Amino acid sequence: FNFVTFDLIGDLTFGQSFGCLETGELHPWIQWVFGGVKESCFFQAILRVPGIQSLLKPLFHLKNDNWKQQFEYCAQKTKERMAMKTNRPDIMTHILRANDEKGLTEQEILNNAQVLVIAGSETTATVLSGCVFYLTRNLDAYNKVTAEIRTSFAVEDDMNAESLSKLPYFNAVLEEALRVYPPLSVTLPRTTPPGGEMIAGKFVAGGMTVGVNHWSYNQSSENYKDPELFTPERWLSKENGSVEQYEKFADDQRKPFNPFSFGPRNCIGKSLAYAEMRLIMGRLLWNFDIALEPGFENWEKQKVYILWEKSELKVRLTPVVGY
């Protein structure tokens, strides 16, 4: 999944794919990002311990070198795209239209391109991987979603982001994957207003950094019934599911569920991520039956350094006859 999402965001941002699907190898950029993000977690922890920074200062250049390669490559690709004479309607086209006196500077364009590539590839690939894993571990959900997809369209070409967004159970599967395996298992910070704010029944002074960890919230029995179980039915309305299932999950706290964060600073790539997830997963389930290979039953037990440290996930794909 990292191959296809990285190739897609490369084409949409820079006008050319990174060629991961063709070569069958991760592009060095992805490896630089993974390494840099993991290192950042350790260095942020170090900064919280007074006096230890000076002892470990020689290690800081390693982090800078890792990110430096990523920054330099991004700058190169951004400049190549800015010099490209094309009217293709990609993301960079809209960014470059704002490159005037009141718009974005070249450095701001570079910064945006960097965020787009990192956020638009790894996070989506993570959700897709989790979705496949949990579906293969829940055959009832797997059978329901494949039946819905394969009976809702006459031909594969009828599937697009809009038509797939109208399938209740399919979209419930994606929401549940986002709940049990959030792409960013961290706390996205917010700052309280100058006058302070009441949060969870307690007053928090102004200028304080606060946040709610996605994974912790999603795994709490105070917020969800049977939170450890992959149950897409919890996202169905009374009209789209059974009354019994609806009542079973009636007390689930779905309103605060915001895997893309909330407010004016939420994820700018939310719509793109949903489009990618729907198209990739929809076509995958249309064309193939999927089964988990032996030995990967505990794949979800992973470490996380802002991003999940995913190990390989092996599944067996069997072409579906007649579709």
Residue 73: burial class (beta carbons within 10 Å; 0-12, 13-18, 19+): middle
Closest among 305, 263, 309, 320 to 129, alpha carbons compared: 309
Beta-bridged to residue 202, according to DSSP, are: 199
Question: Which stretch of DSSP H or E encloses residue 153?
Answer: none
Contact of 192 with 216, CB cutoff 8 Å: no
Residue 21 phi/psi, 5-degree rounding, is -65, -35
Tokens 């450095």 — which residue? 107
Measure Cα distances from 290 to 4, 124, 137, 229 in Å: 18, 19, 11, 20
131 belongs to an annotated ligand binding site: no
Amino acid found at 314: K
**Containing H/E element for 276?**
helix 270-287
Question: Which residue type does 247 have?
Answer: E
249: phi > 0 → left, psi -120 to 50 → alpha, else beta; which?
A: alpha
Q: What are phi and psi of 276, to 5 degrees?
A: -65, -50
Q: Which residues pair with 190 in a beta bridge?
A: 210
Annotated binding site for heme: 267
Q: Which residues belong to the annotated binding site?
A: 267
